[in-house]
Amino acid sequence: MAGEKRFGTALFGFKQSDVNSYIEKILREFDDKLKEKDNEITALKNQCRELRIKYEDIARKTDQVSDDRVKIADVLIKAQEKAELILQEAREQAEQERKKLSEMTEHEKEKLVDIKQEIKALKQQISKTLKRYETDLDKVVEFSSLQESNGEVKSDHDSNDNELADDIIDEIMEEYVGKAES
């Protein structure tokens, strides 16, 4: 068989020097293998220690990342809530502004209707005043024509008639100006 050791024979069994050298050789091989295994165990322990350190470092980093994720999630949630609140406030403010503008527009429309009515009333008053003025003017002209056709040429009477015509014109103008100012 391979690896099997054969000892030389001696008077009372195997040759002691062969046995001793074989045992020493086995012990050396065993010590060498034991040292290799010890070195291998030491290397594995060192590798295990390094892996444990790396694991703990990764675990700390993982915990930190988890904490950071939680913080980021909280910040994002708060930011989203705040953004929604800002949007809601903006919508409410826009609605209030829209209502205010609508009310102002309605008020201005009412004012415009009132102004149109006032303008219409002023036009009617002006029209009436102008018609009355025209009528009064026609009367003055007719009165003058009658006096000329009657042949009355009295200077005192003419001056009275002129004063009367001037009074009528002044009265019409005062009435017109008074209504225009109000």
pLDDT by residue for the chain (182 residues), tens only, comes to 445 666 566 667 778 888 889 999 999 999 999 999 999 999 999 999 999 999 999 999 999 999 999 999 999 999 999 999 999 999 999 999 999 999 999 999 999 999 999 999 999 988 888 888 888 888 888 887 887 887 654 445 556 666 776 777 777 777 767 766 66
Residue spans of the domains in the chain: they are: 9-181
pLDDT at 1: 40
DSSP 1: -
Say what the pLDDT of residue 53 is: 95
Q: In sequence order, what are the residues at sequence separation of 6 or more whose Cβ sits closer than 8 angstroms to the Cβ of residue 147?
A: 157, 158, 161
pLDDT of 47 reads 94
- Grouping H, G, I as helix, E, B as strand and the rest as coil, residue 101 is helix
CB 15 within 8 Å of CB 8: yes
The dihedral of CA 34, 35, 40, 42: what is its sign? positive
Cα–Cα distance, 141 to 149 (Å, whole number): 12
pLDDT score, position 18: 85
What pLDDT, on the 0 to 100 scale, is given for residue 180? 62
Alpha carbon of residue 171 to chain centroid: 67
Residue at token pair 């527009």: 105
> What gap in Å lies between CA 81 and CA 71, rounded to an integer?
15
Paired tokens of 99: 């209502």
Find all residues with CB under 8 Å of 157, minimum gap 6, and list them: 147
How many CB atoms are closer than 10 A to CB 13?
9
pLDDT value of position 11 = 66
Three-class SS of 107-163: HHHHHHHHHHHHHHHHHHHHHHHHHHHHHHHHHHHHHHHHHHHHCCCCHHHHHHHHH
Four-residue CA torsion sign, 96, 100, 105, 107 = positive
